[in-house]
Structures are given as structure tokens and as C-alpha cells.
Chain A
């Protein structure tokens, strides 16, 4: 019946790929199933967040941000919007990926397939929403900052890939770890809060620099606050996206190198731990 039989390895790879595609589609489809607004929710959520943050930090607390370098944009919601959406993806995909093994316990205990597929498909599903959000941001920036943003739009693709890899590594690590230690789920919610503030979603590095200088002036001690702030990979990602979407510039080579390094470290550690711990996961679930 069959004419040419592909090698078992290639066949297995095709099957895994196909499965990955279907699981990703499942995640995407199931998320807004039976809601009146459907996928529109994926835009309403960040918009509402942007509105609240703009109100609190822009209007009331008067957080100042420099106008966009090449774009000349002076619109706080646009600045905070980039942060909110990028951070939303990083934290959202990590926590969804982290829970993906436990929420698919039914699948894991009944069928065999490479277990990482679940985590990857969850992150990919989030990435597809993130990509739409980025497109919307791009259009907004185009309207308020002019067509120059289109010159840099292509940079969003490698940025998106790196962000996915980075989030995936952490999600892989946390997904198996949280099967063994259920507390991690709750711990993560707290950590994510702290991490969000540390990543400068609502304030820029200028404010941190200001604080560092103020401390030095008042107490004479020099704390390397800016360096510490920039050691945070999420902050690096946010600033790279802001370079492209708010300032209309190319992120510096140092930023790219840092992003690549962070993503590589995250993925390597994540997949090593995952490979070690995922073997007996079914019994613990």
C-alpha cells in the first residue's frame, strides 16, 4: 500500500511537529471559546491595563519619560504600552507554560508523546497572541510616530523569537519543578509581582539613575543600582522592544548579545532540568 516509507526518525519528527501544531491551535482556540467577544479579549486586557497604568503612573504620579529618540513620541500610554504588553507575554507565557503539565494531566497519563510538546505549545499559543498585540502596537506607533517605525519593524521578529526562547526555558524548568513542588505555583505569583516592578514596566531606567545619583549625593555611597537593574533579563527585553517601537532605533549590539546569552542560558538549563525530571512525571501528577 505505502510506496516509500520514511525513516522512523523522520516520521517521528513529523508526528511531533504535527502534534505541536495541533496542540498550539487547541490552546489558541480553547482560550476564548464561547465568549461573546472572542479574541478581542486578548486586546482588551492589555488595553485596560495600559489605561490604568497611564492613569496612575502618568497622570497621578507624573512619571516622566523622555520623548522617543527618533520618533519624537511624547505620549506616556504609548511608552507604558510597550512595557505592559512585553511583560504580559513574558510573565503570562511562563506561568501558562509552568502549569501546562498539570493542566494536561489527563493527556499525560493516557498517551505517550514527548512531554516538552505541551510546554512549547502553550508558549507558542501565547506567542501568537503576543504577535497580534505587537502588530496593533506597531499600527499605533505608525499613527502617532510616523512611518519611520516600519524601517525597524522587521527587528521585532528576532526579538520575538528570543523572547519566546527565554520564556520557554524558564517555563520548562518551572513546569517540571512545580509538579514536584506544588508551592511553586503560588510562589511564582509573588515572584512575578516583584519581577514586574524590577523590570521597569512602569518607570524608566532614568528614574533608577536619578535614584542612584540622589543616594550618592546624600550619603556619599555609590550603589550600582543601574547596573543591577540592567542585569535583569526582562528589563533588557523591555528596553529592546522600546528601542524599536518607541524610539525607532536599533537596539545596541551589547543588548542583542545580552538577549542571546540570556535566552541560551535559560533554554539550556530549562531543557536539561526538564529532561532529567520529566521521565517520571506521570507518577507524581
Chain B
């Protein structure tokens, strides 16, 4: 760790916003000065450090200044006050196909783009095959890039920028365009970067992705830094605010449109008695009690399990279980989710519950971390990890 890879020191940035975008001589000559403008403050006294070797996420709503901050880090924009220092080679992957020339072939563009990002010719020669291989556009490499699909554009552009082997890689929302295979490739690459002690700063609206691959995160809102810290904490806080979550009565957070409310969740043993801990391998049930404030067609109830550290382990819902009622009427009710064998290692676990419409696009209510329970030791046993599988091991046999 040691020295920060990027230090952002009290950075402010404002833009001139022209009321009539009058960049003409006429306006200048007639009014005797530049066209009228208003000052818009996109970053306000932002101050933080990105430690070396971390994957660092930037979160925030549209227009909160994430891209602006990234551009300042990449030296594309100059802060109006404050300063940014970066250590080592910086490569930025700011938007689709930065620096691609549509008429030139993929091959020519790799060379051009590579040199823009600071690679020498020999370096590009050496890495050319790897770049093309990573991008997966071999077949099209000699075609003009204007014939590429937008995903191909990003793949090639991204492939070039990671092969620059930057000490700091800045990535702005490019993952969203790639397909799943490519996203996985990128996440692998980020992990590799981290192992090599390189730093990655990513902007993304994929908060769950952020949670899983970022170590740390910062949250910007209207150009000010709201919070910085462990990625999972920041993601939680950000998505709570984003969903308009409030503290639920029994602990945890809740958000949703409120047609149905989940009142509480309990862990029950095989006899239906509420418990707070259960041994590995035992039969348990989760009981959800709800209150419908109006009649709702085909609601989908669901639960999910996570470790106390926030790692998502399992989700289960009415669609997966084939248990979607045609409707629920106004009033209260409950349902049980039976788990025959609790295949979890001894540890603390959190339960989330939600109820959505049958397209799962609208969340009537979601109750997060309202139930925490302890798993105590039982059988089967495992050596480590979060879950236990029905496994066995033979004695070692010598092979003839």
C-alpha cells in the first residue's frame, strides 16, 4: 500500500454554461466581452485518496460529477482549484472507442490508440496478438471500425487500454456495453490488476457488481463527496438512499411502494418454534408475515441470504418455487419457506425479504437485514467456507 495512487486534493471544478451558447464574434464585438455565462459547479472541494493496489468505485446519481472527476484524474480537464496527483502511468477508458478513427481498420486503430495511450511501436507489436485475442474481434481486425458493433468497439478499446499496463486505470461505465463473457473477462482483469498492485478506479451504476469487485468506494452527490470507505458499506448506503429506504421498526432497512408490507421474518425450528440459532444440517423454516393494504395480483415473495459480511449466498422466490398466488386480498397473512437441511457453516447470517410484482420490476416492499441468525456446529462438517455440501472423501489409495 503505502503512497496513494491518486490523491485528490480539495478539487473544485466549475463549468461555464452559456445561456444562448453564443460563441460568436458578433456577440463579442457587440457586447464588448465574451458571451454571458453562468458558472456551474460540478465538483465542490472533493478531497480523498485512492490507495495503491485497490479497485476503487465511484458511485453517484446521474450528473453528480463522477465523469468530471475521472476526467480531472486523467488530466483531460483542469480543476479550477485544488490539485490531483497520480503515480505512474495512467490510462483512461472514458467512453466507447476513445480515439478510434472510423475509416481506419481495427489494426490501424490499435496502433493509433496504443500510441495515444503512450505505448511505443515495439510495445504494441509485442502485445498486438494479446490485444486482439482479448478483444475477441480477430475476424474483423482488418475492417474499418465504423462497421463494428458498439460492443466490439468497446472490447477493442478496452483491450488496448488494459494492455498499456497502466499503474492507474480509469474506467467510466464501459462495462455496460459488453456482453456477459466480456464483463467476466474484464472483472478477471481487474482482479489481476489488483494482484499486481495496480489501481483501478471505476464508475458504474451496476452497484451489485461494484460491491463484489471494488475494495473501496466513494459516493458523490451534486459534486460533493458524501462518503468514502469499504465498498460494501458505501454501496449499501448509496442504494438505501437511492431507493428511499427508511429504518424498519424491527431493525434493518425497508423500501418499496407499499401495496404490501412485510411485517417481519422469523426463523423457526422443525416444530415451528421461533429460534435465533440453528445447527448446521437442521431443518428450519423462514416465516414471512405480511400485510396487504390493497388487493395485489400475483405478488412474488422472495428471500435471500447473505453472510454478515454482506456476501450474497442464495435467493429464493415464488417464481422459483412455483408459489405465486393469483392474488392476495387486503389483510394480513404469512407464508413459510422450508429449508430441509441448513447447508451453512457456523457463522452469522442475514436474511432479506421482499415482495415484487410478477415481472419483478416493481418492488412493493423490501426488508433488508431485518433478521440475523447464528448457525452453530452440526453435521455435515466442512473445513471452511460459508456452505456445507453433502460430501465424502475416500481414503487415499495407491495407484498401480
Contact = CB atoms under 8 A, between A and B. Distances in A.
Chain A CB count within 10 A is highest, among B75, B94, B117, B118, for B118
A145 B78 CA distance: 57
Contacts of B108: 26, 29
Nearest to A30: B103
A14 B25 contact: no
Interface in A102-123: 106-113
B94 to A, nearest CB: 4
B112 interface: yes
A280 interface: yes
B294 interface: no
A97 to B, nearest CB: 18
B390 to A, nearest CB: 47
B99 A112 contact: no
Contacts of A15: 115, 118-120
A107 B77 CA distance: 13
Contacts of B16: 283-284
A181 B104 contact: no
Chain B CB count within 10 A is highest, among A14, A109, A184, A283, for A283
Interface in B97-137: 98-99, 101, 103-104, 108, 111-112, 115-121
A178 to B, nearest CB: 9
Contact of A181 (B28, B75, B111, B119): B28
Interface string A251-285: 00000000000000000000000000001101110
A144 to B, nearest CB: 38
A282 to B, nearest CB: 6
Contacts of B26: 183
A107 B116 contact: yes
Given A15-B120, A183-B26, A283-B15, A30 B74 contact: no
A183 to B, nearest CB: 4
B23 interface: yes
Interface stretch (A16-24, A79-87, A129-137): A16-24
B12 to A, nearest CB: 14
B104 A110 contact: no
Contacts of A22: 111-112, 115-116
B92 interface: yes
A113 B117 CA distance: 8
B103 A282 contact: no
Given A14-B120, A26-B104, A29-B108, A106 B25 contact: no
B24 A108 contact: no
Interface in B375-391: none
Chain B CB count within 10 A is highest, among A26, A33, A107, A109, for A26
A9 interface: no
A18 B94 contact: no
Contacts of B115: 15, 18-19, 21-23
Contacts of B121: 18
A100 B375 CA distance: 66
B75 A26 contact: no
Contacts of B144: 33
Contacts of B319: none
Contacts of A108: 76
Given A22-B115, A111-B98, A282-B77, A181 B24 contact: yes
Interface residues of A: mostly helix, strand, loop or mixed?
A: helix
Contacts of B71: 109, 282
A180 interface: yes
A279 B76 CA distance: 9
Contacts of A283: 15-16, 77
B25 A111 contact: no
A187 interface: yes
B173 interface: no
Contact of B120 (A18, A111, A112, A282): A18
B112 A112 contact: no
Nearest to A184: B25
Contact of A106 (B23, B99, B103, B120): B99
Interface string A194-223: 000000000000000000000000000000
A112 B89 CA distance: 12
Nearest to A33: B103
B28 A30 contact: no
A283 B43 CA distance: 14
A182 interface: yes
Chain B CB count within 10 A is highest, among A34, A106, A182, A280, for A106
Interface string A33-55: 11000000000000000000000
Given A15-B119, A34-B103, A109-B94, 20 more contacts: A18-B115, A19-B115, A22-B115, A23-B112, A23-B115, A29-B108, A30-B104, A106-B99, A109-B76, A110-B76, A111-B98, A111-B99, A111-B116, A111-B117, A112-B75, A181-B25, A184-B25, A279-B78, A280-B78, A283-B15
25 contacts: A15-B115, A15-B119, A18-B119, A19-B115, A21-B115, A23-B112, A26-B112, A30-B101, A30-B104, A33-B104, A106-B99, A109-B94, A110-B76, A110-B98, A111-B74, A111-B116, A112-B74, A112-B76, A112-B90, A180-B34, A181-B28, A184-B25, A279-B78, A283-B16, A283-B77
Interface of A: 14-15, 18-19, 21-23, 26, 29-30, 33-34, 106-113, 180-184, 187, 279-280, 282-284
